[in-house]
Amino acid sequence: MKNSNGEVGFIITEIIAILGLSAIVIAVLMTVYFSTYKLYQYQLAFTDIQYSERAAMQMIIEDIMAAQELECLNDGKKLRLLVDDGYVSYYLQNQTIYRHGTAKMPVVNYISNLSFQAGSQPGYTNICMEALQGEDTNRIICSARSRLIIDAETAEPDN
């Protein structure tokens, strides 16, 4: 545009229009950025819960494999194992799984359901663990058996 002096330049309305369009573009970009960041944080938290669940499941399986005797109590809500050091129990309380042996120790948080059942094959124990985050549920189901119980059953008697 030329002004009254014949110089080329922008008038104030053009500058305001450019600033307005720039503000709209920046607002759209920031909205996309923050929604993507929120989704990233949600996925990161859910991944942490999944990792914690798997670590807790591994701990329970290792204790089952080392158990000399095991028992599902309270309609499958509690597992009691006899290991070398004495009895160890696993149970859910206030969305936290606890391992209670010589001391009560929290194993994993944000668990909505934990259940133990005798497996369809002798010596096996089925474990089901669920974690909720928002609308999503992560469920892990495993089956484990005690090596000591199975070895004692399959051992041949001495003659």
Query: Under a CB-based contact definition with an 8 Å cutoff, are residues 157 and 69 in contact?
Result: no
Residue 61 lies in a domain: yes
pLDDT of 19-40, one tens digit each? 999 999 999 999 999 999 999 9
Q: What is the pLDDT of residues 35-94, one digit of tens each?
A: 999 999 988 988 888 899 999 999 999 999 988 888 899 898 999 999 887 899 999 999
Domain total of the chain: 1
Residues 6 or more apart in contact with residue 23 via CB below 8 angstroms = none
**pTM assigned to the model:** 0.72
Q: Is residue 119 part of a domain?
A: yes
Query: Taking residues 101-126, what's their average pLDDT?
Result: 88
Q: Which domain does 73 fall in, by range?
A: 12-154
Q: Is residue 159 part of a domain?
A: no
- Whether 56 maps to a domain, the answer reads yes
Residue 139 inside a domain? The answer is yes
Give pairs for 41-48: CB < 8 Å, separation 24+: 42/133, 42/134, 45/133, 46/133, 46/136, 46/138
- Domain assignment present for residue 4? The answer is no
